[in-house]
Structure 1
């Protein structure tokens, strides 16, 4: 595990040096976000066992917006004993035939996991989206060759549609399917509204549910509120 961690750390530390080594607008820029929510939902399932969580990220974007990379963290509740997941990712955002494309690779690890627990994983994501006036749509495909713990390879496919009601208020609804080699397969869906309180503060209220017949809060339905501060 140490070699990927060192590689990921080196990549993150190198980004500011790359930016400062360039002059003028070619240097790109950094952006940051922190926030909190009543439940940490990913692919429809809870990563915090239904409890509240906090998160943060830093992202460097090239001047033309084509390349981006950066570290992030989020609090979790894992069977590994970890309560913090760290990650570093990088991606490109080309435009193809009028569609916005986002191709991303992310390395994640659970901090302070118990000895012997498979606490790290790679996750690869492809997204294609299109907006026409206030309407927008997005298709996401994600794949991991080996997830954390006893879980192995999985695939997630999600379709999402949205509508901008005003310049501050938008709504989205999504449905996705997750297939996992050594864990439960399930379909998940969500619908909610996002309100821009200010230019830098967003509030999202969203309902989540799945068809997984598993006891406990991980796959249970939930109404989740989340606030994000960007700077």
Structure 2
């Protein structure tokens, strides 16, 4: 069982990471590169989405290493995606060991649940940010993100597997709770990149992650079921 979990997570994570890197390189990365041109432009190009002015500081450590555009950036992105993909694949396969998916279609549903927990729910309060975007304090955002993901996972589990109306109502409350409290926000929403570019980036990030999670759910379910049949 342990060997099956590792093999399934490794292969499915690798394939999903390659797919994610490809889609990011074609769609998401060009938007980030475009936003970086505004970040390096004069501060007068900054625009605000709220009344009043906000001080938005940009600190750059010239001695810090950063991947160059091209193959270094792609390889760095691929390596990060691989680590994340294998980690999420291990989580899904661990759940499969407790509740065997009846078909690859059920893996798709598990993938969509992962997308809802780790992408969609947090994005409702903290949308993806381009370089040069004002944001609240990092620790507060991390705390809210983790709390939202945990609450969404618990809420979905109660809605899907809970028996009885009260458990399902409790699940709905867990889903709504973080958004009723609200995510930490900066004093003013300011960005160096145009609003149209921000909107494109948010849509691209959401759809790219949706493709990743659907692929990861399907791959893990298919490989896990195949390995299970091969052992019998």
Whether these two folds match at TM > 0.5 is: no
Q: Which structure has greater helix proportion?
A: 2
TM-score class, shorter-chain normalisation, is: under 0.3
Task: Give the alignment's TM-score, normalised by structure 1.
Answer: 0.24
Q: Which structure has greater strand proportion?
A: 1
